[in-house]
Structure 1
Amino acid sequence: MKTDSIFYELFLNLPDSLFSLLGLSPELAKEYQFTSQELKQLAKRIDGLFLPLHDDKPIYFVEVQFQKDESLYHRLFTEIFTYLGQYKPPQNFHAVVMWAKKSLDIPLPPYYQDFKESGKLTVIYLDELNLNTTESIGVEIMKLIIAPPSEAKTQVEKLFSMAQQAEESTTKNQDIIELLEKILTYKFSNYSREELAKMFTLSDFKKTRFYQETYAEGIIEGELKAKISSIPNLLKLGLTVEQIAQALDLDIDTVQKIAKNEHN
């Protein structure tokens, strides 16, 4: 799953997710801007950046990791101190590392231990999030991302219900639904579009581009199968390949292949 882009969209649309995850008031999101900024010295952009609108709030550096990375803490703090040196912000900072599961985490180097003990570094394991439903749609989406496929359908239904009841604009709700759509296409990459459309037949899901495209493709594929299955009977009635192709609006090559298989 392309977790980087998924989480970027999640925090962009639901910035309160971070604060809910940290046990803080989701209202704090109103005092932050989620963004990414250039690090000239490292010739790269730093993503997952929550910049406070006021000096009395810390900058949040968020790192999401879904695979083993022995250099993660080194890289993260290098980026943080490069950012602080380049932009010289007046605020303090808080680093948040989100591992998909605890087994992926690596030992924290001793020279970074003080940051964890002082509360400037928080490590979260998504697989250990409380299974009870929270009021945060964002946190529930995180649970969906790491959930086994067998539990996904129930969670998707719950999330669509939460999105409907949320006090958000229609546009914001649609953004959330489109994000769920994207997660499902990544999470169930082994499933065909038709299978996914059948699995999730919720009314809101039917409004997404994914479902509508799938539904349209399903109709087209169904019509094509019906036409092809009728070719042998039309051949038996004595129609020529050209007549069948014209009547069914198929190309002659397709009809010829079916006819050839019938004679073999």
Structure 2
Amino acid sequence: MKRDSIYYQIFKRFPALIFELIDNRPAQAQNYRFESVEVKETAFRIDGVFLPPEDATARVIYFAEVQFQKDESLYHRFFTESLTYLYRNQSQYDDWYCVVIFPSRSLEPSDTRTHRMFFSSEQVQRIYLDELGDSNTLPIGINLIQLTIASDKVMAEQAKQLIQRVKLEEIGALPKNEIIEIITTIAVYKFSSLSREEVEAMLGITLEQTRVYQEAKAEGREEGLEQGLEQGREQREAELLPVIVPLLLKIGMSVENIAQQLNVAVESVEKYR
């Protein structure tokens, strides 16, 4: 499951979700935007930066890192990148915080002494998704994030229950259709071997309910998508890949998975990202 892409989509669509996880929520949380930024004159690219609205009275920047594999150099890299960004952009902020999200404590780097100055301050907060509590008692936004760590055995049922919650409950500023699309995308990543019909049956919805399908239908491309899965390699590459690849990327499939499903080279898919 390619979680980096999933979390990018979640935070890009719903930046305010990060503030449901942490203690220090800014006054204009709903107006923050999420970006992947490159630090000039270095080789650093920071995947998760939450930037305040331009009219904010207190310009507070939040750096976020989602880590789903063991990496002993994580804190060295993350703090170096964050502080370098602050140095290069001194006129754009008044304060800053860092948030590191782990599925569990077991994936945290063993060396927490080197950067103890940060950990003992309120500027750095570590989140462990499996310690947030019972999903049924938590806000929908946190449920959505927890869905990414669910096991295969329970993920389908949790996703189905979450979709029902989204449909029935008042969820404030979070658009319901967008959340259902993210849930569907997570399911597609998690069960990449299943067909569209199997994913629909598992979640209890039809893809006609999602924006991705509606856009494809409106453009008259659904038939081309279905036919493309049956065409030969040469015809797919020459005629159908420019249409099919963007659609499959929209629903969250990785380049490698698309190449495997269409039986083409990864390089052929990369052309149409």
Number of positions where the alignment pairs a residue of Structure 1 with one of Structure 2: 217
Q: Which runs of 4+ in 1 moved over 4 A?
A: 23-28, 167-170, 209-214
Residue 64 of structure 1: how far off its partner (Å)? 0.2
Match of 1:81 in 2: 83
Match of 1:42 in 2: 42
2:55 is the alignment partner of 1:52? no
Whole-angstrom distance in 1 between the partners of 2:21 and 2:160: 21
2:110 is the alignment partner of 1:104? no
Match of 2:125 in 1: 122
* TM, length-normalised to structure 1: 0.71
2:140 is the alignment partner of 1:137? yes
Shift in alpha-carbon separation, 1:178–1:153, aligned structure 2, 3 A: same
Q: Pick one of 64, 67, 70 that aligns with 1:68.
A: 70
Which has more radius of gyration? 1
Whole-angstrom distance in 2 between the partners of 1:2 and 1:176: 18
Residue 29 of structure 1: how far off its partner (Å)? 1.8
Shift in alpha-carbon separation, 1:210–1:70, aligned structure 2, 3 A: farther
Provide the secondary structure at the position in 2 that maps to 1:110: coil
Shift in alpha-carbon separation, 1:34–1:109, aligned structure 2, 3 A: same
* Unpaired runs of at least 5, structure 1: 222-264
Matched-pair contact (CA < 8 Å) for 2:156–2:187: no
Matched-pair contact (CA < 8 Å) for 1:99–1:124: yes
Whole-angstrom distance in 2 between the partners of 1:120 and 1:168: 28
Match of 1:258 in 2: none
Matched-pair contact (CA < 8 Å) for 1:48–1:63: yes
Whole-angstrom distance in 1 between the partners of 2:119 and 2:74: 15
What pairs up with 1:249-260 in 2 under 5 angstroms?
none
* TM, length-normalised to structure 2: 0.68
2:201 is the alignment partner of 1:198? yes
Identity of aligned residues (%): 39
Whole-angstrom distance in 1 between the partners of 2:27 and 2:134: 23
Supply the RMSD in Å over aligned alpha carbons: 3.1
Matched-pair contact (CA < 8 Å) for 1:51–1:60: yes
Q: Which moved more, 1:180-189 or 1:22-31?
A: 22-31
Aligned amino acid, residue 78 of structure 2? L
Whole-angstrom distance in 1 between the partners of 2:165 and 2:208: 17
Match of 2:243 in 1: none
Match of 2:244 in 1: none
Aligned amino acid, residue 77 of structure 1? F
Match of 2:30 in 1: 30
Shift in alpha-carbon separation, 1:43–1:97, aligned structure 2, 3 A: same
Note the alpha carbon deviations across 1:200-254, whole angstroms, 9 max, x for none. 2236x5523579979x96xx99xxxxxxxxxxxxxxxxxxxxxxxxxxxxxxxxx
Provide the secondary structure at the position in 1 that maps to 2:80: helix
Provide the secondary structure at the position in 2 that maps to 1:133: helix
Match of 2:256 in 1: none
Whole-angstrom distance in 2 between the partners of 1:51 and 1:25: 13
Match of 1:154 in 2: 157
Residue 137 of structure 1: how far off its partner (Å)? 2.4
Shift in alpha-carbon separation, 1:39–1:179, aligned structure 2, 3 A: same
